Amino acid sequence: MSGPLWTLLVVAAGVALVVFATLKLRLPAFFALLLTAIAAGIAFGAEPVSVLASVKKGAGEALGFVAVILGLGSIFGALLEAGGGVGVMARALLDRFGVRRAPWALATIGILVGIPLFFDVALIILAPLMLGVAQRSGKAVAFVALPVLAGLAVMHGLLPPHPGPVAAAELLHADYGRIALWGLACGIPAVLVAGPLYALAAFRKGVYVAPETSPVADDGAVDALIGLWPALVGMLAPLVLIVAGAVAHAALPEGPVRTALAFFGHPFVALAVACGYAWVLLRRRGVDRHRLLGIAGRALEPAGAIALVIGAGAAFKQVLIDSGAGAHLTAAVEGARLSPLVFGFLIAAIMRIAQGSATVAMVAAAGLAAPLATAAGLDANQVALVVIGIGAGATVVSHVNDAGFWLVGQYLGLSETETFRSWTVASTMAGLVAFAAALVASALV
């Protein structure tokens, strides 16, 4: 059996099964996602062997990058936390802005860091800072984290050089400068609403509870071995290296300087340098090698579990793609008479909800919206706003088939229910506000 209706039913049933299995049956997320991926592929009519090939392909491609980032990022965060550097930075942040203004400062951090860095890399790097501020202020982790997460997610969906906006810009022949302009104009209000304002409304009265599962937690941490400036250098080193690599790739001619910056700017190398810096710094502060090995080993234990969950989620996504579910999903709404902006938002949102990846959702939606935008004779600003609308759709409803959902929950020590209530709601608010801003801007230009 096939067709748009059957595809919608299978996708809805698959998402419901994962939610039910993780929240009610309390099955491990990895097991629930893997079983759902296989069951969905068979329900779509694919051969069982082909389904398993899709599972292998999806998990393998995702883990090739994510596993290394998870490992290095977890070790870096644990070393920084063990030296007390996170606490030093948290105290400095709170002393400068105060607890009442901390959400706005954290939203700014999310925006600035989210422009050059992928969501998962930035989350792993900033998780120790978010947990440190929460512990220092006594506020709920969600209260502190949502402003940062909103900034990271919105920048990932709306601004180049992230892969989704770049792909959409190429497919729609949009101007990068206008995308950046409208991305910030529509994205900043989205960050403020989904981040500080939602955190203040929903989690103001929450209190800090030490996370049990976060890979950056270290019960044996020694306070203040790392001072403020060494801690800031350690925190900023991977960010600066990655940004330098991106700038070199875009602005420098071929040559040894560009090659060197591109090498050190790769997330693998940048995080490895940060780990080495933190390791040497702690050794010079008197922490013995065996203790450092123990810290690194404990950090890798939950990182391995997170990697398996991400791999299973990627397998689910690949089954949906290989089965042709994307084409059927778009056919279900293609007949409606919609503007390219609204159409792109809806297609991206449907794809995002169905298969989790914001980048895949943006590529699919942009490919379908491109001929509509051409036929409508849109000007450069309106085409850029179509890209923003697609990015907004790809931001909404981060849930169990999105790797970011599990990264947020595991790295911040939130249960599935808490992650739904905080991150899923915030991502949806961010996408809807950005879409509304794009609609208003499109009517005015």
Contact (CB, 8 A) for 106 and 181: no
> Residues 284-290: what's their mean pLDDT?
86
Residues 46 and 38: their CA atoms lie apart, in Å, by 10
Q: What b/e readout covers 373-405, taking b as 16+ CB neighbours within 10 angstroms?
A: beeeebeebbbbbbbbbbbbbbbbbbbbbbbbb
More confident residue, 390 or 161: 390
**Which of 52-61, 205-214, 354-363, 369-378 shows the lowest per-residue confidence on average (mean pLDDT)?**
205-214
Which token pair is 300?
């890798």
Could you tell me the residue ranges of all domains in the chain?
A: 4-444
Whether residue 126 has pLDDT greater than 90: no
Residues 404 and 414: their CA atoms lie apart, in Å, by 13
Q: pLDDT tens digit string along 132-151?
A: 888 877 888 999 999 999 99
Considering the entire predicted model, what is its pTM? 0.67
Residues 203 and 142: their CA atoms lie apart, in Å, by 7
Residues 268 and 17: their CA atoms lie apart, in Å, by 35
Q: Nearest to residue 110, comparing CAs of 87, 138, 88, 133?
A: 133
More confident residue, 85 or 103: 103
